[in-house]
Structure 1
Amino acid sequence: MTSTHIWLIRHGETAWNADRRLQGWQDIPLNEVGEQQAHNLASFLASDRFDVQFDQVVSSDLQRAAQTAAIACAHTGLDVVLDKGLRERGFGVLEGRSWDSFGGRVPDQPGDSADLAPEGGESIQTFQQRVLTAVEQLAYKYPGQKLAVFAHGGVIDMVWRRLLQVDLYAPRTQTILNTSINHFSLSPSASGYDWTVQRWGQASHISENALDDVG
């Protein structure tokens, strides 16, 4: 059956990325570095080095992702479709806190209940289910198409774990840099969709000072 191919791209840098603050659903815009990263990405996507013609451009509705999508895919002439299901995890009252206060990791400890949520936020289990459902809905809506999808570090982490069957609390072994590109496909199957990694962590267009964290 026909596969839907997704190039899942993290947004450019924000001031909160640079300050190592937990963003979650806070609608933080790109900073100057992030805007330049998006323009660098645009040059790469429009070049001979990236030989893909997208059929659709989809983004999280948070502006750091939507801004990146609009800049990076302006050359395609496609409208950016916003999808709330692709938002970063909601961390509720924890948003705005320094990553250092969590030891530089997502504020969930091994052994915690996967359905335990911070006040006003989402549990890791709820977040995972939301992201995977949103991705499969894209495959259902755009069968056989090539999609540029702009989202967040946490979203990319959930997709990576689904693709490689990695436990929610296992250490992540893949970096998720601002504007990095992650290509995978979904193929209809008797049980729903088969998820397949194509090329992960493409970053040749990214400067060495890009930040790797969730957000």
Structure 2
Amino acid sequence: MNNNPGSSHKPSVAVLQHAVTSRTQYEIPLHFGITFVRHGESTGNKLGVVQGHQDYPLSTLGLNQAQQLGINSVMNLRVSHIYSSDLQRAVKTAEILRSYLLHAPEIQYDKRLRERGFGSLEGLSLKQFRAELQKSGVHMTDLKPPGGESTADLRARVISFMEDLLTTLRAFDKERLKELAANPNAASPSYYSEYQVPSGRSNPGAPPSVNDPLGASVLIFTHGGFIREALLYLEQEYNFCVESQRHLLKAVSPNCGISTLTIKITEPKTTVNCMWLHRIYHVSDNSRPKLNQSMSIAALRARSQSASGGNRKQFNSSISMM
């Protein structure tokens, strides 16, 4: 695994200075990676109840899932930013994985990363929830119980968070370029040189974009509903998903599933590449749901198969309220 950027990737002083001073475009693209991580199994998941904003902790299995994901996925990885929902099932997952990182920035907690709120229906069994949904006479996306949220409310949180994240990353990248312009011979931090999530090991056969230098690498610990809505929003904005993956956009990520995108902004163009959706890298539970092989990009198929094992089953993708 090459953690040091090659000399061919190092921009000239003039280019760096222009990138720092320009307000309308970057000579060097703003290029970053985002990985969404769903929390490990919670006690609410285990009970099969609607969680929403209810603050259920991780189950014993969920703790083990997070630990195994840390070992198998992010061991010795460097990232620039970590964000987490403030609900403890996401917080604990983030804390466990952070302990395995080579470079571990502080976790930034954000209520906007919470699961969709179901208000008065939280705590019901899935069977009870479906009965209430049928009784309401409205579609799941439009359902808004007392004290709860509709899908549109969740989408508004997604957009607010993603817009603020982009603003943060622009400022972060500008400071990085400013430092490089002041000291062009300085070595870039290794987490800029290769995007390795979700495996700290080498990545043979991966597309060239995996090894492109990045300005930032972001881990976001959140919930199934938020991840699905974020992916749908980004797909609608940037049309990043290949046809074989399109059905996955409405699927619910399994516990400790990870979805990784790289985003390159060269004004006015934005290019989003999907590395993988809802991948599982923890191996603590032999009965865990395993993803269909069609879920991986062709260039990563061999790696995905070796990481996820043999017999595969579809996971439940019908309702996200966990």
TM-score bracket, shorter-length normalisation: 0.7 to 0.9
TM-score, length basis structure 2:
0.57
Distance 1:197 1:19, change over 3 A: same
Is the 8 Å Cα contact of residues 5 and 145 (structure 1) preserved in structure 2?
yes
1:59 aligns with 2:70: no
Cα displacement (A) at 1:84: 0.9
Residue from 123, 142, 148 that aligns with 1:96: 123
2:3 aligned partner: none
Give the stretch that moved more between structures: 37-46 or 111-120: 111-120
Residue from 7, 10, 28 that aligns with 2:56: 28
Is the 8 Å Cα contact of residues 58 and 80 (structure 1) preserved in structure 2?
yes
1:203 aligned partner: 280
C-alpha separation in 2, matches of 1:34 and 1:191: 42
1:149 aligns with 2:174: no
C-alpha separation in 1, matches of 2:51 and 2:269: 32
TM-score, length basis structure 1:
0.82
Per-residue CA deviations over 1:44-76 (Å, capped at 9, x if unaligned) read 23448xxx5211111001110010000011133
Secondary structure, in 3 states, of the residue corresponding to 1:75?
coil
Query: Which structure carries more helix by proportion?
Result: 2
Per-residue CA deviations over 1:97-154 (Å, capped at 9, x if unaligned) read 11123449x9599964955521001111011121132123222212431011100000
AA aligned opposite 2:277:
W
AA aligned opposite 2:37:
I
C-alpha separation in 1, matches of 2:52 and 2:250: 22
Distance 1:141 1:33, change over 3 A: same
1:184 aligned partner: 261
Secondary structure, in 3 states, of the residue corresponding to 2:36?
strand
1:158 aligns with 2:229: yes
C-alpha separation in 2, matches of 1:120 and 1:192: 40
Higher Rg of the two aligned structures: 2
Cα displacement (A) at 1:209: 3.1
Is the 8 Å Cα contact of residues 224 and 252 (structure 2) preserved in structure 1?
no
Is the 8 Å Cα contact of residues 228 and 250 (structure 2) preserved in structure 1?
no
Secondary structure, in 3 states, of the residue corresponding to 2:71?
helix
Is the 8 Å Cα contact of residues 2 and 188 (structure 1) preserved in structure 2?
yes
Per-residue CA deviations over 1:24-46 (Å, capped at 9, x if unaligned) read 00111111111111100110234
Distance 1:198 1:90, change over 3 A: same
AA aligned opposite 2:279:
Q
Structure 1 residue ranges without an equivalent (≥5): none
Cα displacement (A) at 1:200: 1.2
Secondary structure, in 3 states, of the residue corresponding to 2:40?
coil
Query: Which structure carries more strand by proportion?
Result: 1
1:132 aligns with 2:159: yes
Identity over the aligned pairs, expressed in percent? 30
Q: How many residues align?
A: 208
Distance 1:22 1:195, change over 3 A: farther
Cα displacement (A) at 1:81: 1.0
Please give the residue correspondences for 1:13-52 in structure 2 after superposition, counting only pairs within 5 Å. 13-47=41-75, 52=77
Structure 2 residue ranges without an equivalent (≥5): 1-28, 171-214, 240-246, 290-315
1:117 aligns with 2:194: no
Higher relative contact order (CA 8 A, sep 6+): 1
Please give the residue correspondences for 1:65-104 in structure 2 after superposition, counting only pairs within 5 Å. 65-76=90-101, 77-103=104-130
C-alpha separation in 1, matches of 2:145 and 2:107: 31
